[in-house]
């Protein structure tokens, strides 16, 4: 098991890539701390994790609340003594063209996709420094590298996550903490469940592999980056896109 007894906080764990990541970490022997705004859904994921791994707990957390973040991190630290891995996976979309985007749409996405990454990372980092190591893994997107029509807020948040990753890898690398980002392309998650089939077909046609990604394929990368096998990978932004932007 690559992550035996690794204490891992995973945000946005109730569905999609977050759920797949929680299950993958559990299968690799991690102690999974599954977090999401939906208490019922995240509890179900924690139960699934316990069926295949050593230990898992579910916490209903509003990632935009610094008080909630700090409380959760302190609870985990008190119980397990440390936090080895943080997966900043939680994210939302509120799409609109620049001329139509509301202030609320912009703020909602920035708060969840960017501010929460800062809050969680700052909350865990002192403990990681004291322990002499750890891994912070951030969810970016190919949209955060190349931009996308109608996603001013989402693109900005995911560009920002890359900035965090590059900066923190320099600041924290000397302290034994690796910081990396994962940039998925089109992945079959609830976020695109309402997309019409003709649009999905167009999306598939843009990918050289001619299909959408599976959440498990992103989760596999997170598990690798959290493990000792990735011990010399720091400050990377790795695309999981099937060659979308080749």
**Phi and psi torsions of 188, nearest 5°:** -75, 90
Q: What percent of the chain has pLDDT over 90?
A: 88
Predicted confidence at residue 246, as pLDDT, reads 63
Residue 192's pLDDT is 78
**pTM beyond 0.85, yes or no:** yes
At residue 238, the pLDDT reads 98
Delineate the domains of the chain, giving CATH numbers in brackets.
7-240 (3.40.50.720)
pLDDT value, residue 54: 83
- Give a three-class secondary structure readout of 176-213: CEEEEEEEECCECCHHHCCCCHHHHHHHHHHCCCCCCE
Catalytic, 154? Answer: yes
Residue 196: the pLDDT is: 82
Give average pLDDT by consecutive 10-residue segment, the chain, 246 residues. Answer: 96 98 98 97 97 94 97 97 98 96 98 98 98 98 94 98 98 98 92 80 89 96 98 98 84
State the DSSP string of 39-99: HHHHHHHHHHHHHHSSEEEEEE--TT-HHHHHHHHHHHHHHHS---EEEE-------B-TT
Would you call 145 exposed, middle or buried from its count of C-beta atoms within 10 A (0-12, 13-18, 19+)? middle
Residues of the chain with pLDDT > 70, as a percent, come to 100
Catalytic, out of 59, 146, 154, 222: 154
């Amino acid at each position: 098991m690559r992550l035996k007894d690794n204490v891992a906080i995973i945000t946005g764990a109730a569905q999609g890539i977050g759920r797949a990541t929680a299950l993958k970490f559990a299968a690799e022997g991690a102690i999974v701390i599954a977090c999401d705004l939906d208490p019922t859904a995240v509890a179900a994921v924690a139960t699934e994790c316990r069926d295949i791994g050593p230990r898992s707990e579910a916490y209903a957390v509003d990632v935009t609340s610094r008080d909630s973040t700090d409380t959760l991190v302190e609870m985990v630290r008190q119980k397990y003594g440390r936090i080895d891995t943080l997966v900043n996976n939680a994210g939302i979309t509120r799409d609109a063209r620049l001329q139509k985007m509301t202030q609320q749409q912009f703020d909602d996405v920035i708060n969840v996709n960017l501010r929460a990454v800062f809050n969680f990372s700052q909350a865990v980092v002192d403990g990681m420094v004291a322990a002499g190591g750890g891994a912070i893994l951030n969810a970016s997107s190919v949209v955060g590298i190349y931009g996308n029509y109608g996603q001013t807020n989402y693109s900005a948040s995911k560009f920002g996550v890359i900035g965090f990753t590059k900066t923190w890898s320099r600041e924290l690398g000397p302290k034994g903490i690796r910081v990396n980002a994962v940039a998925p392309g089109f992945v079959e998650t609830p976020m695109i469940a309402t997309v019409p089939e003709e649009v999905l077909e167009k999306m598939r046609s843009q990918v050289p592999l001619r299909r959408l990604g599976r959440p498990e394929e992103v989760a596999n990368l997170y598990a690798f980056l959290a493990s000792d096998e990735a011990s010399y990978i720091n400050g990377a932004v790795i695309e999981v896109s099937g060659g979308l932007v080749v």
